[in-house]
Amino acid sequence: MRKKSRFITLEGIDGAGKSTHIKKISDWITNQGEEVVCTREPGGTPFGEKLREMVLHEKMDIMSETLLMFAARNEHIKTVIEPALNQGKWVLSDRFTDASFAYQGGGRGVNWDILTTLATWVEARTPDLTLLFDIDPTIAQQRVAQSTAQPDKFEQEQRYFFDRVRNAYLERARNNPDRIVVINSAANLTDLKTTVINILNERLA
């Protein structure tokens, strides 16, 4: 019998801990005997990575930014996510549609109805589970500041921008309580790893 594929997404503001946890989650899936494709947004395809460069580093109108995000997402879904799921693989994506509601919606003020319409256009399959790494932007910024990488356009935004992004993420979670699990990402790493594995065991094993 064909195993059921699953689509899992990780969300949260920059510095929340998504990249830190993705390997463990991918290992957990492999240990279930499943094949997993790890991917990310914006990006995930050669075309999407070019758009990522533009979106993260060039100034543009917010609707242009929004449409580019969804263009990249459409390509990502059609060429990576859907084919993998159709082959029975699991897909683990570092950010997905919730991020557009958080960043373009909450952060930049794009109307949620527009985002919902765009999401309905491109999103063939809603994630089965979304882990929202929730954290105070001040703590997240301190964590990011300790890494040496050059900050991108979003990472240079001020605290109030990330407050809006965080609140929009939490609103998405309130509106989608069965899908989105909110994780307190201010906790220490050892506890967090246990929390994440417990959620996976409860929801997906």
Ligand X SMILES: Nc1ncnc2c1ncn2[C@@H]1O[C@H](COP(=O)(O)OP(=O)(O)O)[C@@H](O)[C@H]1O
**Which one of 7, 8, 9, 17 is in contact with ligand X (CB under 6 A)?**
17
For residues 52 and 43, is the Cβ–Cβ distance under 8 A?
A: yes
- Cis peptide leading into 127, omega within 30 of 0? no
| Alpha-carbon gap, residue 71 to 50, rounded angstroms | 11
Residue list 16-45, contact with Mg ion (CB under 5 A)? 18-19
64 binds Mg ion (CB under 5 A): no
Output DSSP code: residue 183. E
**Closest distance of CB 4 from ligand X, Å:** 28
**Which one of 5, 12, 173, 196 is in contact with ligand X (CB under 6 A)?**
12
Q: How many residues bind Mg ion (CB under 5 A)?
A: 2
Helices (H), 89-136: 97-99, 112-122
For residues 68 and 55, is the Cβ–Cβ distance under 8 A?
A: yes
Between 18 and 73, CB nearer to ligand X: 18
Residue list 118-147, contact with ligand X (CB under 6 A)? 143-144, 146-147
Q: Which residues bind ligand X (CB under 6 A)?
A: 12, 14-20, 143-144, 146-147, 188-189, 192
